[in-house]
Amino acid sequence: MKGKLYLVPAPLGGAPEEVIPSYVFGQISHITHFAVEELRTARRYLSSIGFKGRIEGLNFYEINEHTTFQDAEQIIKVLLTGEDMALISEAGLPAVADPGANLVDLAHRHDVDVIPFVGPSSLMMALMSSGMNGQSFAFNGYLPVKPHERKAKIKELEKRSRNGKQSQIFIETPYRNDAMLADILEVCEASTRVCIAADITLPSAYIKTRRVQDWKQNRVTIGKRPCVFILMA
C-alpha cells in the first residue's frame, strides 16, 4: 500500500492557530516525513503545532527552487514504501506559487493519494479584497528583475487586462516592492486600478485599491514586506 501526500498550509505570519483550522494539526500528527521549503522555518512551525519534543525524530526533505525533477523522484520513493508524507510551503498553500508542485505532480503519476487542507492564500485573499474581477484573473508570478524588462511586462499585463477584462496578479521580492510600484505608476494609464496587498493576515496588513492617478497623489512606501500586486485596466 502506498502512503498519502498531505498538503499542509503554513501561516503567512503570526500564530498558525489564528489562520489554519485546528483539525489540520490532528490529521498530520502521525506523520514523520516532511517535504519542506526551508528546514528552520518548518521545524519552528511544527514545534508550534504539536511536534515539540519530537522534531529530532522527524525526517525532512528540502524541496525548493533548486530542486530538480530527479530530486523529487527520490523523495517520492518514501511514499511508495507506504509512508505518509506532508508537504509544507514556506508560507501559505503548498504547490501554489511554490516549488512543491513537482512533488504533487509525481504523486499523481505514481497514483499516490493527495490530501489538501484548507489554509490562507495571499493571492486569493488579495483578489477577494481588491474589488477587481474575481471571475477572470491570471497569476503571473514574479515579473522580470531588469527595470526595462519589468516595465515592458507591466505594460503587457495592462493591455491583457484591458482586452480581456481580466485581473492581473503578480508578486515581487520584498526589497523590490517600492521599485515595482514606481514602475507601475510610471508606465500605466491614469485610470488603471492597482491593488497593493501587504502583510495579509497580520496586524500590520495594508490592502488598498486605487487608480494610478490617485496613487500618484497619495504615494506610499510598502517596504520590505510580503506583498501582492493586482492590476486592472
pLDDT digits (tens, 9 = 90+) for 120-165: 999 999 999 999 999 999 999 999 999 999 999 999 999 999 999 9
What pTM did the predictor assign? Answer: 0.90
Q: Are residues 111 and 169 in the same domain?
A: no
Q: Are residues 33 and 13 in the same domain?
A: yes
Q: How many CB atoms lie within 10 A of CB 217?
A: 9
Helix, strand, coil in percent for the chain, rounding step 5? 40, 20, 40
Q: If you ran DSSP here, which 8-state letter would residue 133 be given?
A: -
Please identify, among 74, 101, 116, the residue that sits at the C-terminal boundary of a domain.
Answer: 116
Q: Are residues 128 and 222 in the same domain?
A: yes
As given in the structure block, the three cell numbers for residue 185 are 505608476
Number of folded domains that form the chain: 2
Q: Are residues 129 and 90 in the same domain?
A: no
Show the domain range for 35: 5-116
Please identify, among 62, 97, 116, the residue that sits at the C-terminal boundary of a domain.
Answer: 116
How many residues belong to the chain?
233
Q: Are residues 23 and 75 in the same domain?
A: yes
Sort residue 111 into left (φ over 0), alpha (ψ -120 to 50) or beta. Answer: left
* In the block, residue with C-alpha cell 516595465: 151
pLDDT digits (tens, 9 = 90+) for 21-74: 889 999 999 999 999 998 999 999 999 888 888 999 999 999 988 888 888 899
Q: Are residues 24 and 92 in the same domain?
A: yes
Q: Are residues 127 and 91 in the same domain?
A: no
CATH of the domain at 180: 3.30.950.10
Q: Are residues 87 and 175 in the same domain?
A: no
Q: Are residues 22 and 91 in the same domain?
A: yes
pLDDT of residue 16: 74
CATH of the domain at 79: 3.40.1010.10
CA distance 219 to 200: 20
Q: Are residues 106 and 164 in the same domain?
A: no
* In the block, residue with C-alpha cell 491593488: 195
CA distance 168 to 183: 15
Q: Are residues 139 and 169 in the same domain?
A: yes
pLDDT digits (tens, 9 = 90+) for 174-209: 999 999 999 999 999 999 999 999 999 999 999 999
β-pairing verdict for 206-211 and 137-142? unpaired
Please identify, among 74, 99, 116, the residue that sits at the C-terminal boundary of a domain.
Answer: 116
Q: Are residues 137 and 225 in the same domain?
A: yes
